[in-house]
Amino acid sequence: MATPALSVTRRQVLRGLLATSAFGLTVKLGGCGDSPIADDGTDTLTAGFVYVGPRDDYGYNQAHAQGRDGLADVPNLSAFDEANVPETQAVQETMRSMIDLDGASVIFATSFGYFEPHVLSLAEEFPDVQFFHCGGLYEEGVHPDNVGSYFGYIDEAQYIAGIVAAHTSETKRLGFIGAIPIPQVLRNINSFTLGARSVDPSVTTQVIFTGDWAAPVREAEAANSMIDQGVDVLTCHVDSPRVVIETAERRGVFSSGYHASQAELAPNGYLTGAEWDWTSVYRNYITWLQEGKTLMNGGIPHLVRGGLGDGFVKLSDYGSAVSDTAKQEAEDAKAGLLSGDLVIYAGEIQDNRGNTVVAQNEALGQTAIELEQMDWLIEGVSGSVS
Amino acid sequence: MTDSLRRSLANLYIPLGSLLAALIIFGGFCALAGANPFGVYHSIYRAAFGSWSSFQNTLTQASPLMLSSLCTALPARLGLVIIGNEGAIVMGGLAAVVSGLALSDWGAASPVVQIGMALAAMGLGGLWIALVGALRHYRAVNETISSLLLNYIAIALLNHLINGPLKDPSSLNNPATYPIPAVHMLGNLPGSRVHYGLIFGLVACGIAYFLIQRTTFGFAARTTGGNLRAAKIAGLPVGQLTLIICFLGGACAGLAGMVEVAAIHGRANAALNAGYGYSGVLVAFIARQNPIAATVVALLLGGILASGGILQRAHSLPDATVLVFQGIVFLSVLYGDSLQGRLSGLMQRFRRQPVPPPAPIGPLV
């Protein structure tokens, strides 16, 4: 019988299989693995940060990485990170390896999709490790006790960015490129537009959803087509605003940033931006932890939320194109939000199909559950949720 | 040395040589990035194979790749280059969720639900790639391009369904389908955290190898791949073969999607489209389209993926390092592939005739 063309013989296969299983057994039974660098008596806190994308995406992940970098001068803290970890079993392995190999007692899982099932199942497996997840909704009694969640009301910063945008726009047409029509994105679009229309009710915002958190080609297409239609201030809610901001700059229109500062990408057209201030959030957590507070002993709340006043979010420095009037009004609005005099979602507010979504004398504060379930776009926004 | 022995040796030393070359190039890259290459390789080894715990990490990363690679490896025996693995995984995951939800609503027992999910996933994944085969055979559409484009269609369909008709209203900010009840989930292999997908992968690769190398059907497929016209003249049912092989390949990838849903996520969401498809193409090519070799290569690649974290955390290498490593391996294996069957000829030529100095071409400016 002729040997088949691609000849791995049966003997070779058997040998290979034997070798692999023998190897597996040796490593399993060998028992001389690397012992975890566990608590060595000192009170150094070891924290691991996990990001879903690259550290330098000028966006969501960069904001978190900068937050971790801001911890560099905290004494008795070892904070390390890992980027580009997909929302698959890979993130479970990453967190496990941080705990087993690096001795992490605290994990910050920064991507929304890490929560279920990944963070939840690891939390059950490691009840002594605390898992803080960005954006997840912790439910008392449903989720493990060693899981906490943190997130910020970044739409406050978007509201102020909308004020600046409306002052700067000449065509009175703003553009917003969103990833997918989920409540968080809709809330940013609506707050941005409400801010703009508080300056000039004739301002409109055009919305395009790209359908994906990272879709550079579609983001560029959306930006170009909106600019072609007369939009002269662009902002976005995608993982990396880089493409949108660069496209705006190249086409000579203004832009407003998101997640992190993109000022260096658009020296001429960058107005301001809604940024996360994770350093202040992470510092706060680390202080709690170093004081001996934990999620399990009730010292740290399971749900941590905040806006401008709590240091969760901030605005990029104003660009050169921002007028003094715009700056003044923006600062006034900021003061109003900080003092609580200004409520963004105060009635009456209609959606862009003519339904009343916030009634006449109703004012929805930032913690209102209705805002977390938003499925409408306000009057003045052209675009549709479905 | 007999011809077949030389061929089988070439099958072994060309991929190994390519891997070695890739290791050397990557070592240079690490050195440029300021890390000690030997330290890096030691860490890769430690994080991938160094202990039972880290080996489980490797196995976990490897298991979807085995199934996914068959989607490229099987049609390759017919001479088709199919890269629609990602799409077939997504479709398989979707079919698994829909059938799983339907069956558990209907009150079926866990084994029935799981088998139903697996069959539905294999069926839809198979049809997805069989469509590519049909376009190739009946309409002469390039199968590489059409399978690539079908990936985008599958992902768009997934996004549409999880944001629309199949959306669980409680999955507010991370759109996903309704979850499969936890009792119907696939468990882990006893004494480990590796799910049953690994067994599916190993078994599927074994069956695929047997089918291609040891059956008349496989012989017919290989003949068709070797010479289409000769196969037609010999009266082989080329169309049927194309459809069946493509269906089988797609079914394997679909099963990978089912495992993602039934063993890990419990629902379909954007994480279904995590790149296992493209890594599967890589595995199939490095394995030279041999299903048994694919299991070993999947382990190797799984090990590389498993070590990605250590490279960042212990060596401060950029997060793209793992991708650079993968890319270098892929390019070097593809280049090695082009030497297949020419290496011995080349070597003989070098040995026998020294290359004459080139004649002057003309004045240099």
Closest CB to B213 among A4, A33, A112: A4
Residue with tokens 């449903």: A142
Within 8 A of B313 by CB-CB distance, chain A residues are: 80-82, 98, 102
If you measure CA to CA, which chain B residue comes closest to A32?
Answer: B51
Are the Cβ atoms of B8 and A8 closer than 8 angstroms?
Answer: yes
| pLDDT band of B358, cuts 50, 70, 90 | low
pLDDT digits (tens, 9 = 90+) for B245-261: 999 999 999 999 999 99
Domain membership of residue B26 (yes or no) is no
> By residue range, what is the domain housing residue B140?
66-274
pLDDT at A3 over 50: no
Domain membership of residue B246 (yes or no) is yes
If you measure CA to CA, which chain A residue comes closest to B262?
Answer: A117
Are the Cβ atoms of A27 and B51 closer than 8 angstroms?
Answer: yes
CA distances to A19, B51, B52, B191 from A26, rounded to whole Å, are: 10, 9, 9, 15
Domain membership of residue B167 (yes or no) is yes
Share of chain B above pLDDT 70, in %: 93
Domain membership of residue B9 (yes or no) is no
Asked if the interface predicted TM-score (ipTM) of this complex is over 0.85, the answer is no
Question: Average pLDDT, stretch B7-31?
Answer: 86
Q: A381 forms bridges with which residues in the sheet? A: A205
Measure the CA–CA gap between B256 and B275, rounded to whole angstroms.
Answer: 12
| pLDDT band of B88, cuts 50, 70, 90 | very high
Within 8 A of B312 by CB-CB distance, chain A residues are: 81-83
- Residues 85-144 (B) with a CB less than 8 A from some CB of A: none
Closest CB to B52 among A28, A89, A101: A28
Are the Cβ atoms of B172 and A372 closer than 8 angstroms?
Answer: yes
**How many C-beta atoms surround the C-beta of residue A36 within 10 A?**
14
* Of the candidate ranges A4-13, A20-29, A118-127, B294-303, the one whose mean pLDDT is the lowest: A20-29
Question: Average pLDDT, stretch A293-301?
Answer: 93
Give how far A33 is from chain B: nearest CA, Å: 5
| pLDDT band of A228, cuts 50, 70, 90 | very high
pLDDT at A37 over 50: no
User: What is the tally of structural domains in chain B?
Assistant: 1
pLDDT at B216 over 80: yes
Mean pLDDT, chain A, as a whole number? 88
Ranges assigned E (strand) in A18-172 = 45-50, 77-82, 106-109, 130-134, 147-152
pTM: 0.84
Domain membership of residue B337 (yes or no) is no
CB A352, CB A382: distance < 8 Å: yes
Q: In this predicted structure, what is the pLDDT of residue B274?
A: 87
Domain membership of residue B254 (yes or no) is yes
Q: In this predicted structure, what is the pLDDT of residue A38?
A: 41
Are the Cβ atoms of A112 and B275 closer than 8 angstroms?
Answer: no
State yes or no: cis peptide before A221, omega within 30 of 0. no
Q: In this predicted structure, what is the pLDDT of residue B346?
A: 62
Q: In this predicted structure, what is the pLDDT of residue A34?
A: 39
Domain membership of residue B215 (yes or no) is yes
Q: In this predicted structure, what is the pLDDT of residue A206?
A: 97
Are the Cβ atoms of B274 and A97 closer than 8 angstroms?
Answer: no
Measure the CA–CA gap between A74 and A199, rounded to whole angstroms.
Answer: 42
Within 8 A of B222 by CB-CB distance, chain A residues are: 4-5
pLDDT at B350 over 90: no
Domain membership of residue B333 (yes or no) is no
Question: Average pLDDT, stretch A207-214?
Answer: 91
Are the Cβ atoms of A4 and B271 closer than 8 angstroms?
Answer: no
Beta strands at A147-152 and A130-134: parallel, antiparallel or unpaired? parallel
Q: In this predicted structure, what is the pLDDT of residue B336?
A: 84
In terms of pLDDT, which residue wins out, B355 or A149? A149
Are the Cβ atoms of A386 and B159 closer than 8 angstroms?
Answer: no
pLDDT at B9 over 90: no
pLDDT digits (tens, 9 = 90+) for A64-113: 999 999 999 999 999 999 999 999 999 999 999 999 888 999 999 999 99
Q: In this predicted structure, what is the pLDDT of residue B362?
A: 53
Within 8 A of B257 by CB-CB distance, chain A residues are: none
* Of the candidate ranges A18-32, B140-154, B280-294, the one whose mean pLDDT is the lowest: A18-32
